[in-house]
Amino acid sequence: MIALERGLFITLEGGEGAGKTTAIAQIKAWLEGKGRSVVTTREPGGTDLAERLRGLLLDSPVGSVSDITELLLMFASRAQHLDEVIRPALDKGQVVLCDRFTDASLAYQGGGRELGLDLVRKLANIVHADLWPDITLLLDVPVELGLKRVNQRNQGMNRFELEKTAFLERVRVTYLALAEAEPERFWVIDASQSHKQVKREILEGLERRLR
């Protein structure tokens, strides 16, 4: 169990259409109900500079971006995010609730782009060797269902949502392999269930893990 008196770093991961945004809002409300100060943020993004990089990384009209450029921009955004938002909040004893972190780079660039996990981990060791999430919730959803949900949002699709199914399948397989390798940190939620059921499983699990 993790004591709630200290700073706590919780990340949510998952493929496209997994429902992370909804889950983060629910977790934030639950934690604040426990009297905790919560900082919600996202990657790429979270700072003025990182949000600009997010636009370059996600906007579909941006044109061709090489795989290694994509990975390096992700970590440039992450370094700024850690310096401005994540580390200061944790130092104050706050809960940081983050939509994606380095596990996303491992899954999307390491697995999806097939750059390899070793390269991503080398960059992670440079940027945040001393800091990894305390808890990572992986909202797992079949690729086909996730894309169906994305299409139902009636919003423009970003570069990753427009990727071929084979890429997104590699992302999902990598995520599940990461979770299997670190069961103490990862917690896999079946996100193909109803929003109500997913919420119940998340909050009941947090109740067990935190005190």
Per-residue pLDDT of 14-45, as tens digits, reads 988 888 989 999 999 999 999 999 999 999 99
Query: Any idea of the CA torsion for 175, 65, 154, 146, to the nearest 10 degrees?
Result: -20
Given a contact cutoff of 8 angstroms between Cβ atoms, the answer to whether 34 and 207 are in contact is no
pLDDT confidence band for 2 (50 / 70 / 90):
low
DSSP lists the bridge partners of residue 14 as 139
> Which CATH architecture does the domain made up of 8-209 adopt?
3-Layer(aba) Sandwich (3.40)
Query: Any idea of the CA torsion for 39, 43, 47, 51, to the nearest 10 degrees?
Result: -140
Given a contact cutoff of 8 angstroms between Cβ atoms, the answer to whether 112 and 74 are in contact is no
The confidence score (pLDDT) of residue 108 equals 95
Cβ contacts of residue 124 below 8 Å, gap of 6+? 75, 102, 105
DSSP lists the bridge partners of residue 135 as 10
Confidence check: pLDDT of 211 > 80: no
What is the average pLDDT across 75-92? 97
**75 CB neighbour count, 10 Å cutoff:** 19
What is the average pLDDT across 46-75? 86
Query: Any idea of the CA torsion for 114, 115, 116, 122, to the nearest 10 degrees?
Result: -160
As a whole number of angstroms, the distance between CA 192 and CA 155 comes to 21
pTM: 0.92
Per-residue pLDDT of 141-189, as tens digits, reads 999 998 888 888 766 677 787 788 999 999 999 999 999 999 999 999 9
φ, ψ dihedrals at 34, nearest 5°: -90, 5
The confidence score (pLDDT) of residue 76 equals 96
